[in-house]
Each structure stands twice: as structure tokens, then as C-alpha cells.
Chains A and B, each alone.
Chain A
Amino acid sequence: MEATVTRTGTEGKTWGGGNQPLKVSYGKMMMWFFILSDALTFSGFLASYGFARYKFSNSWPIADEVFNHFPFLHGVDAPMYYVALMTFILIFSSVTMVLAVDAGHQMKRAKVTFYMLLTIVGGVIFLGSQAWEWKNFIQGTYGAIETRGGNVLQVVDDEGHRVALDEFVVALPTERVQHMRSNGLWFTDEPTLPRFTIEDVLLGFEANPNLHIRTQELTETGEKVVLSRQASLAKLENEGIGIIEGANLQKNEYGNPLFGDFFFFITGFHGFHVLTGVIINIIIFFNVLIGTYERRGHYEMVEKVGLYWHFVDLVWVFVFTFFYLV
């Protein structure tokens, strides 16, 4: 044996091979570098969000008015609470994850199992919360009027409170039917027709003298500009072309379409990470259950998936700041 080994003269030196200069295993080091590259992807997304936000800084939606729902509190203005709860859930599942890693170091299989299970539950609750948040965002609350220039006009009353389209608009009978493949051109169709036409909105608006139009423009103090009654009517008549309810990738009732695009894309990409994290956690959880790591003699796999899970939490901390706080 001894005779076949080639001597290089660098044995025992740091980079001479056969040792770990960074004192971590290959798998763990690669997990770190994967996380690094993923972190750069997310910072690319968030930086481009920052670009769009600076570009449209005087017409960007105010997050408090967009995300103000809380389960079982209908019609109550509850900005921030729900997303704060989501943040706590994710931080807590990070804690249980690190406790699982800690228990793994001490080779305590039962504890690792328990904490991994808690982590998975936390991740699933977070995913559900995010789905609920998306649902609210997509459905919308008040509805808005679209202008020819692609901006949105929102309706407020004398005190500046938002008024939903439902509260003052009545849909008049119309001849217009939805264009489907079965009743029109066979090779194309159109999405569901909006519930109200611009004419309905105009009639309702004229009949309620306490209504005003709020534009997307921000004042010096960071509030949206509310037009006088006269100006509101003129704006509606000259510029309104239809209504928008909820949000999709083309337009949204909250304001600048890019806001919706970035929201869907960044929270969606993060949610996808949470989903993969949960799936990997489940796999590792079953490996712990059947004793794979007990036989292997160490719980390093738990540590590696833990790194990924903490990274997901780390990204959420930034998403939370830049979408909901700033």
C-alpha cells in the first residue's frame, strides 16, 4: 500500500488535499454557496423593485391601504397585523429548526423528530397565510376606475374614507355579452366582463354628492391627492374608461401595475422557496424517523436543510421590510 502512494511534498499543508481548510464538509460548504447565489438572485429582484419604486415614487400605492385584512375581522382596517403575524410564524419555525439542529448535535432523535415536525407545521401555516394574502390582493376590496392613461382613480367620501364601487354603483342592463369562442370568433375570446360599465359609475357618482375622486399622485406629506367635487366629475368624464376590481399582472385597483407585478413575482418566488423548504424538511423528517442519521452517526443533513430554512426566513425579513414597511 505504502509504495503506491504518490508523494507531492505538500502533505499536511493547508491546501495539500485530504483536509478541509474551511473546516466544513463539502455538502455544507456547497449549501452555503448555493445560498449565496440565491441571495444575489433575491437582491436582484428587490433592487429592481427599488428601481421601479423610485421611478414612480409619487404614484406608488401605500402598502397599509393594500394589505389591511385580518382573518375574521371583516371590514376592519388592520394594516400590518397579519403580515407581522406571518413574520412571527416564520421566525418561530426558524427557532424550532435551529433547536432540531441543536438536538441533532447531541444525537437526540426524539427531540430532532419533534422539532422538525414543528418546523414543517410552521412552514405550512406560513404558506397558507401567504395564499390568503394573495387571495385578498387578487380579489381586491374597493374597486377603482381605470383611466385612458392607464392610471387608477379611487373613490372616497367627504371624510376621506374609501368607498367601494358596490356602495354607489348600480349595474344597468346592457346588451354587451362576453365574447367566447362559441358565440364570436372561433379562435379568440375575452375575459369575464367587468360588473359595471363606466356609464354606471358616472350615474352613481353624480347621484351621491358626498363622493370625491382620489388620484394616485402623492402630496408632499405622502398622502394621495383628493380632488374637489367639480374636478372629480370632470376627471371621471374625461378620463375614465372602465373599472378595475382586484389585481392581476396587467392592472390592479391599488395603483401602479408594477406594484402588483413585483408583489406577485417576489412573494411568489419566496413562497416557492418556502414550499421547496417544506418538502425537503418532510423528506429529512422521514429520514430521521427511520433512523438514517442515527446509523450514519451524525445529523448533518438536518443542519444543511436548516441552513436553507433559515435562508428562507432571512429573505422574508427583507421582503417584509421593503413591501410592507418602507
Chain B
Amino acid sequence: MAHDTTHAHESNSKRIWTVFIILSVITLVEVILGIIKPDFLMHTYFISLKLINWIFIVLTIWKAYYITWAFMHMEGETKGLRRSVVWTAGFLIVYLVFILLTEGDYVHEVIQRGQVAWDF
């Protein structure tokens, strides 16, 4: 190289490929589950959500963790930066999702009670 670096960085490429394999495997599991749709997972409910959907959501958050921590290098940032980004998003999203889904479920029940004809 024409340029001499003052501080040499060692390559992270091994970790990058490991994370790529993990992400691919998780995606593959999601796709296979989505195609097979095992009966047991489709018809078992946990907190008014199908078990299969819980699995999908947990796997998605797991993927998001790897993307943020490894690819976006959040693991190397200071605690202050990490928390101001991740916690802010985390708390707001949990709150928003809780409020909106609860409300959506309630509106659904109101429609089902039949005060309004929706199929005519």
C-alpha cells in the first residue's frame, strides 16, 4: 500500500462470515417453518398469538440482534451510545405495539358484535 497506517486493525472477516452463516440458517428455518406450517404450532395459542408467530418474532429479533451488534458494530460502541439508541427504540416500540394491538383486538370484537353490517 502507498499509505502507511499508524494503527493496524486486524481483520474481522472470520466473525463476519460466522454471523452470515447464523443469519442464513435462521432465515432458512423461518422459511421452512413458513412452508411446512406444523399443525401443532398453528393451533396452539400463547397470549392470543399462534406459537408459530411467536417463533417467527423471536427469530426475527435474534436476527436483528446479530445485524445490529455484529454488522453495525454496536458491540464495540460505548455503553452510553448503545443504550441511547437501543433502549430508546426498545421501550417506545414495546409500548406502541402493546397499545395498538390491544386496541386493534378490541375494535375487532366491536365489529364482531354485529352493530354494523360489513358483509352485504
Contact = CB atoms under 8 A, between A and B. Distances in A.
Interface stretch (A29-37, A125-133, A267-275, A277-285): A29-37
A221 B43 contact: yes
A237 to B, nearest CB: 13
Nearest to B57: A321
Interface of A is mostly: helix
Interface string B1-19: 1110100110111001100
Interface in A91-129: 91-92, 94-95, 97-99, 101-102, 105-109
Contact of B100 (A23, A48, A221, A239): A48
Given A53-B104, A55-B108, A24 B81 contact: yes
A107 B16 contact: no
Contacts, number: 159
A37 B27 CA distance: 26
A313 B24 CA distance: 13
Interface residues of B, number: 60
Contacts of A294: 2-3
Interface string A290-326: 0000100100000000110011011001101100111
Interface residues of A, number: 68
A306 B70 CA distance: 12
Nearest to B94: A43
A286 interface: no
Interface in A181-199: none
Interface of B: 1-3, 5, 8-9, 11-13, 16-17, 20, 23-24, 27-28, 30-31, 33-35, 42-43, 53, 56-57, 59-60, 63-64, 67-68, 70-73, 77-78, 80-81, 85, 88-89, 92-93, 96-97, 100-101, 103-105, 107-108, 111-112, 117-120
Given A54-B101, A221-B43, 19 more contacts: A24-B81, A33-B85, A36-B85, A51-B100, A51-B103, A54-B108, A64-B34, A84-B28, A91-B20, A98-B71, A99-B13, A102-B16, A105-B9, A106-B8, A107-B5, A149-B119, A294-B3, A310-B71, A326-B53
